[in-house]
Amino acid sequence: MLAQESKGTINPTSPLALRFHDVLALATSTGPWSPALLAAVDMAARWHFNVTACYVPGALREQRAYESEPTVMSLLTDVEYECLDDAVAFQTYARSHGALYASWTVTRTAIAPTLRKLGAWHDLAVLERDMVDEVRIFDILGEAMLSSRIPCLVLPPQWNQAVSFERVVIGWNGSFEATRALHSALPLIKLAKEVILINGEVRTPYDNQISVAEPDPIVYLMHHGITAKPHYIHVPADKAGETLLAKAHDAHADLLVMGAYGHSRIRERVLGGATRHVMAHADIPVFMQH
Protein backbone atom coordinates (compact mmCIF):
# COMPACT_ATOMS: atom_id res chain seq x y z
CA MET A 1 0.00 0.00 0.00
CA LEU A 2 1.01 3.63 -0.35
CA ALA A 3 2.78 5.36 2.50
CA GLN A 4 0.36 6.70 5.07
CA GLU A 5 0.16 10.44 5.66
CA SER A 6 1.71 11.41 8.96
CA LYS A 7 -1.59 12.85 10.18
CA GLY A 8 -3.53 9.71 9.34
CA THR A 9 -5.77 8.54 6.53
CA ILE A 10 -6.92 11.21 4.11
CA ASN A 11 -10.54 12.28 4.41
CA PRO A 12 -12.15 11.83 0.95
CA THR A 13 -13.80 15.26 1.36
CA SER A 14 -10.61 17.12 2.27
CA PRO A 15 -9.08 19.68 -0.14
CA LEU A 16 -6.13 17.33 -0.67
CA ALA A 17 -8.35 14.45 -1.71
CA LEU A 18 -10.34 16.61 -4.09
CA ARG A 19 -7.30 17.42 -6.20
CA PHE A 20 -7.12 13.97 -7.80
CA HIS A 21 -10.57 12.65 -8.62
CA ASP A 22 -9.98 10.51 -11.72
CA VAL A 23 -6.86 8.43 -12.41
CA LEU A 24 -6.10 6.92 -15.82
CA ALA A 25 -3.76 3.97 -16.36
CA LEU A 26 -2.50 2.78 -19.74
CA ALA A 27 -2.34 -0.99 -19.43
CA THR A 28 -0.18 -3.56 -21.17
CA SER A 29 -1.38 -6.80 -19.55
CA THR A 30 -4.16 -8.35 -17.51
CA GLY A 31 -2.55 -11.54 -16.27
CA PRO A 32 -0.89 -10.41 -14.15
CA TRP A 33 -2.29 -6.91 -13.92
CA SER A 34 -0.10 -4.29 -15.56
CA PRO A 35 2.12 -2.27 -13.13
CA ALA A 36 0.33 0.93 -14.19
CA LEU A 37 -3.00 -0.63 -13.24
CA LEU A 38 -1.72 -1.72 -9.84
CA ALA A 39 -0.33 1.75 -9.11
CA ALA A 40 -3.51 3.51 -10.29
CA VAL A 41 -5.75 1.25 -8.24
CA ASP A 42 -3.49 1.77 -5.23
CA MET A 43 -3.85 5.54 -5.52
CA ALA A 44 -7.57 5.41 -6.29
CA ALA A 45 -8.08 3.22 -3.24
CA ARG A 46 -6.04 5.57 -1.09
CA TRP A 47 -8.24 8.53 -1.99
CA HIS A 48 -11.39 6.51 -2.70
CA PHE A 49 -11.48 7.89 -6.25
CA ASN A 50 -12.24 6.73 -9.77
CA VAL A 51 -9.82 4.77 -11.92
CA THR A 52 -9.95 4.08 -15.65
CA ALA A 53 -7.91 1.31 -17.23
CA CYS A 54 -7.18 1.60 -20.93
CA TYR A 55 -5.57 -1.42 -22.55
CA VAL A 56 -3.20 -0.55 -25.42
CA PRO A 57 -2.79 -3.53 -27.80
CA GLY A 58 0.80 -4.43 -28.58
CA ALA A 59 0.55 -3.47 -32.24
CA LEU A 60 -0.38 0.08 -31.30
CA ARG A 61 2.38 0.68 -28.76
CA GLU A 62 4.98 1.23 -31.49
CA GLN A 63 2.76 3.44 -33.62
CA ARG A 64 3.43 7.17 -33.99
CA ALA A 65 0.55 9.63 -33.67
CA TYR A 66 0.57 10.52 -37.37
CA GLU A 67 0.44 6.79 -38.15
CA SER A 68 -2.67 6.35 -36.01
CA GLU A 69 -5.05 5.06 -38.67
CA PRO A 70 -5.89 1.48 -37.58
CA THR A 71 -4.39 -1.25 -39.71
CA VAL A 72 -5.87 -4.66 -40.34
CA MET A 73 -3.17 -6.17 -38.14
CA SER A 74 -3.89 -3.84 -35.23
CA LEU A 75 -7.60 -4.47 -35.48
CA LEU A 76 -7.01 -8.21 -35.33
CA THR A 77 -4.44 -8.10 -32.55
CA ASP A 78 -5.39 -8.78 -28.95
CA VAL A 79 -9.09 -8.96 -29.72
CA GLU A 80 -9.57 -10.94 -26.55
CA TYR A 81 -9.13 -7.75 -24.55
CA GLU A 82 -12.47 -6.52 -25.88
CA CYS A 83 -14.04 -9.36 -23.89
CA LEU A 84 -16.41 -8.32 -21.13
CA ASP A 85 -14.57 -10.70 -18.82
CA ASP A 86 -11.63 -8.30 -18.68
CA ALA A 87 -13.82 -5.33 -17.83
CA VAL A 88 -15.66 -7.25 -15.12
CA ALA A 89 -12.43 -8.66 -13.69
CA PHE A 90 -10.78 -5.25 -13.49
CA GLN A 91 -13.83 -3.55 -12.03
CA THR A 92 -14.11 -6.27 -9.41
CA TYR A 93 -10.41 -6.02 -8.57
CA ALA A 94 -10.39 -2.22 -8.33
CA ARG A 95 -13.59 -1.93 -6.33
CA SER A 96 -12.54 -4.68 -3.93
CA HIS A 97 -9.33 -2.75 -3.25
CA GLY A 98 -11.16 0.49 -2.48
CA ALA A 99 -11.54 2.41 -5.75
CA LEU A 100 -14.75 4.43 -5.82
CA TYR A 101 -15.52 3.55 -9.43
CA ALA A 102 -13.61 1.56 -12.05
CA SER A 103 -13.95 1.32 -15.81
CA TRP A 104 -12.19 -0.61 -18.56
CA THR A 105 -11.67 0.33 -22.18
CA VAL A 106 -9.49 -0.68 -25.13
CA THR A 107 -7.94 1.80 -27.53
CA ARG A 108 -7.70 1.34 -31.29
CA THR A 109 -5.33 4.21 -31.92
CA ALA A 110 -1.77 5.20 -31.01
CA ILE A 111 -0.64 6.12 -27.50
CA ALA A 112 -0.45 9.89 -28.09
CA PRO A 113 -4.04 10.42 -29.31
CA THR A 114 -5.28 7.94 -26.71
CA LEU A 115 -3.62 9.85 -23.87
CA ARG A 116 -4.73 13.19 -25.29
CA LYS A 117 -8.40 12.18 -25.59
CA LEU A 118 -8.75 10.23 -22.35
CA GLY A 119 -6.38 12.51 -20.45
CA ALA A 120 -8.77 15.42 -20.89
CA TRP A 121 -11.20 13.53 -18.64
CA HIS A 122 -8.68 12.68 -15.92
CA ASP A 123 -6.50 14.40 -13.34
CA LEU A 124 -3.51 12.05 -13.56
CA ALA A 125 -2.24 9.37 -15.94
CA VAL A 126 -0.05 6.43 -14.91
CA LEU A 127 2.29 5.08 -17.58
CA GLU A 128 4.94 2.37 -17.82
CA ARG A 129 8.13 3.58 -19.46
CA ASP A 130 8.72 0.13 -20.94
CA MET A 131 5.28 -0.05 -22.54
CA VAL A 132 7.12 0.97 -25.73
CA ASP A 133 10.37 -0.31 -27.17
CA GLU A 134 13.45 1.35 -25.68
CA VAL A 135 14.51 2.94 -28.95
CA ARG A 136 11.11 4.64 -29.35
CA ILE A 137 10.54 5.91 -25.82
CA PHE A 138 11.09 9.53 -26.74
CA ASP A 139 9.23 9.76 -30.03
CA ILE A 140 6.20 7.80 -28.80
CA LEU A 141 5.84 8.09 -25.03
CA GLY A 142 7.51 11.49 -24.90
CA GLU A 143 5.32 12.79 -27.70
CA ALA A 144 2.24 11.51 -25.88
CA MET A 145 3.12 13.42 -22.70
CA LEU A 146 3.98 16.63 -24.54
CA SER A 147 0.79 16.64 -26.60
CA SER A 148 -1.65 15.61 -23.86
CA ARG A 149 -0.41 18.00 -21.12
CA ILE A 150 -1.97 15.81 -18.43
CA PRO A 151 0.23 15.16 -15.36
CA CYS A 152 1.85 11.74 -15.80
CA LEU A 153 3.32 9.36 -13.27
CA VAL A 154 5.91 7.39 -15.25
CA LEU A 155 6.96 4.05 -13.75
CA PRO A 156 10.48 2.75 -14.46
CA PRO A 157 10.99 -0.51 -16.38
CA GLN A 158 9.91 -3.77 -14.71
CA TRP A 159 8.38 -1.90 -11.79
CA ASN A 160 7.01 -4.36 -9.24
CA GLN A 161 6.70 -2.31 -6.04
CA ALA A 162 4.01 -0.28 -4.37
CA VAL A 163 4.33 3.42 -5.14
CA SER A 164 5.48 5.43 -2.13
CA PHE A 165 5.64 9.17 -1.56
CA GLU A 166 7.66 9.33 1.68
CA ARG A 167 10.62 11.17 0.15
CA VAL A 168 10.00 13.51 -2.76
CA VAL A 169 12.56 15.44 -4.79
CA ILE A 170 11.32 18.35 -6.90
CA GLY A 171 13.32 19.61 -9.85
CA TRP A 172 12.57 23.31 -10.39
CA ASN A 173 14.28 25.84 -12.61
CA GLY A 174 11.81 28.68 -12.80
CA SER A 175 10.23 27.49 -16.05
CA PHE A 176 6.51 27.28 -16.70
CA GLU A 177 6.70 23.49 -17.06
CA ALA A 178 8.52 23.03 -13.76
CA THR A 179 6.06 25.28 -11.95
CA ARG A 180 3.04 23.46 -13.39
CA ALA A 181 4.52 20.11 -12.38
CA LEU A 182 5.15 21.33 -8.83
CA HIS A 183 1.62 22.72 -8.57
CA SER A 184 -0.04 19.62 -10.04
CA ALA A 185 1.94 17.28 -7.79
CA LEU A 186 0.90 19.01 -4.55
CA PRO A 187 -1.47 16.18 -3.48
CA LEU A 188 1.44 13.73 -3.65
CA ILE A 189 4.02 16.11 -2.19
CA LYS A 190 1.77 16.66 0.84
CA LEU A 191 2.06 12.97 1.65
CA ALA A 192 5.84 13.15 1.95
CA LYS A 193 7.74 13.11 5.20
CA GLU A 194 10.73 14.70 3.48
CA VAL A 195 10.73 17.10 0.53
CA ILE A 196 13.82 18.43 -1.24
CA LEU A 197 13.58 21.14 -3.89
CA ILE A 198 16.48 21.21 -6.34
CA ASN A 199 16.57 24.80 -7.57
CA GLY A 200 18.48 25.32 -10.79
CA GLU A 201 16.92 28.64 -11.72
CA VAL A 202 19.21 31.16 -13.35
CA ARG A 203 18.02 34.76 -12.94
CA THR A 204 19.17 37.72 -14.98
CA PRO A 205 19.57 41.21 -13.47
CA TYR A 206 16.53 42.38 -15.46
CA ASP A 207 14.09 39.57 -14.63
CA ASN A 208 11.84 41.72 -12.45
CA GLN A 209 11.72 44.48 -15.08
CA ILE A 210 10.63 42.35 -18.01
CA SER A 211 8.41 39.83 -16.27
CA VAL A 212 5.88 39.46 -13.48
CA ALA A 213 7.28 38.66 -10.04
CA GLU A 214 6.62 35.03 -9.14
CA PRO A 215 6.41 33.34 -5.72
CA ASP A 216 9.48 31.72 -4.26
CA PRO A 217 8.89 27.94 -4.57
CA ILE A 218 9.98 27.26 -0.98
CA VAL A 219 7.56 29.90 0.34
CA TYR A 220 4.83 28.63 -1.97
CA LEU A 221 5.22 25.10 -0.61
CA MET A 222 5.23 26.47 2.93
CA HIS A 223 1.87 28.14 2.29
CA HIS A 224 0.57 24.66 1.42
CA GLY A 225 1.83 23.20 4.68
CA ILE A 226 4.95 21.66 3.12
CA THR A 227 8.41 22.20 4.53
CA ALA A 228 10.96 21.69 1.78
CA LYS A 229 14.75 21.71 1.98
CA PRO A 230 16.29 23.83 -0.80
CA HIS A 231 19.34 22.67 -2.71
CA TYR A 232 20.77 25.08 -5.28
CA ILE A 233 22.66 23.83 -8.29
CA HIS A 234 24.41 25.53 -11.19
CA VAL A 235 25.23 23.05 -13.93
CA PRO A 236 25.28 23.21 -17.74
CA ALA A 237 21.97 22.41 -19.41
CA ASP A 238 23.31 19.14 -20.79
CA LYS A 239 24.07 17.96 -17.22
CA ALA A 240 20.74 18.97 -15.67
CA GLY A 241 19.02 15.60 -16.01
CA GLU A 242 22.03 13.66 -14.79
CA THR A 243 22.45 15.97 -11.79
CA LEU A 244 18.76 15.80 -10.90
CA LEU A 245 18.79 12.00 -10.85
CA ALA A 246 21.98 11.96 -8.80
CA LYS A 247 20.41 14.26 -6.21
CA ALA A 248 17.29 12.06 -6.12
CA HIS A 249 19.45 8.98 -5.50
CA ASP A 250 21.42 10.76 -2.77
CA ALA A 251 18.14 11.59 -1.03
CA HIS A 252 16.81 8.02 -1.45
CA ALA A 253 13.76 9.60 -3.09
CA ASP A 254 10.61 7.61 -3.79
CA LEU A 255 9.39 10.14 -6.34
CA LEU A 256 10.92 12.77 -8.61
CA VAL A 257 8.76 15.71 -9.70
CA MET A 258 9.79 17.72 -12.76
CA GLY A 259 8.49 19.52 -15.80
CA ALA A 260 8.49 17.76 -19.16
CA TYR A 261 10.33 20.05 -21.53
CA GLY A 262 10.07 19.94 -25.28
CA HIS A 263 9.67 21.86 -28.51
CA SER A 264 7.82 21.24 -31.73
CA ARG A 265 9.08 20.28 -35.14
CA ILE A 266 7.10 19.50 -38.24
CA ARG A 267 4.80 16.55 -37.43
CA GLU A 268 6.62 15.73 -34.20
CA ARG A 269 7.47 16.92 -30.72
CA VAL A 270 10.97 16.64 -29.35
CA LEU A 271 11.89 16.27 -25.68
CA GLY A 272 14.48 18.51 -24.08
CA GLY A 273 17.78 17.07 -22.88
CA ALA A 274 16.97 16.91 -19.15
CA THR A 275 13.62 15.22 -19.80
CA ARG A 276 15.21 12.72 -22.17
CA HIS A 277 17.93 11.80 -19.68
CA VAL A 278 15.52 11.31 -16.79
CA MET A 279 13.10 9.26 -18.89
CA ALA A 280 15.93 7.07 -20.13
CA HIS A 281 17.68 6.48 -16.81
CA ALA A 282 15.26 7.00 -13.90
CA ASP A 283 14.81 3.94 -11.69
CA ILE A 284 12.14 5.57 -9.51
CA PRO A 285 8.68 6.87 -10.48
CA VAL A 286 8.76 10.31 -12.06
CA PHE A 287 5.88 12.81 -11.98
CA MET A 288 6.04 14.86 -15.17
CA GLN A 289 3.90 17.53 -16.76
CA HIS A 290 4.36 19.60 -19.87
Q: What is the pLDDT along the chain (290 residues), one digit of tens a residue?
A: 343 333 334 454 444 444 788 999 999 988 899 999 999 999 888 888 899 999 998 888 887 765 555 554 444 444 445 567 888 999 999 999 999 999 999 998 889 899 999 999 999 999 999 988 877 777 777 778 877 778 999 999 999 988 899 999 999 888 888 899 999 999 999 999 999 999 876 555 555 556 677 789 999 999 999 999 999 888 777 778 888 899 999 999 999 998 876 544 544 444 456 778 888 889 999 998 87
Containing H/E element for 106?
strand 101-106
> In CATH terms, is domain 167-289 a member of 3.30.1950.10?
no
| Cross-sheet strand order for the sheet of 228-232 | 101-106, 50-55, 22-27, 124-128, 152-155, 286-289, 255-259, 167-172, 194-199, 228-232
Domain residue ranges in the chain: 15-155, 167-289
Distance CA 99, CA 126 (A): 15
Instruction: Spell 124-141 as b/e; 16+ CB within 10 A means b.
Output: bbbbbbbbbeeeebbbbb
**Identity at 206, one-letter amino acid code:** Y
Q: Which of 284, 289, 283, 280 is nearest to 258 (CA)?
A: 289
Q: Are the C-beta atoms of 276 and 138 separated by less than 8 Å? A: yes
Q: Which of 208, 230, 209, 235 is nearest to 218 (CA)?
A: 230
| Count of CB atoms situated within 10 Å of the CB of 230 | 14
Q: How far apart are the first and last CA of the chain?
A: 28
Q: Are the C-beta atoms of 53 and 81 separated by less than 8 Å? A: no
Distance CA 58, CA 65 (A): 15
**15-155 against 167-289: fold identical:** yes
CATH class of 15-155: alpha beta
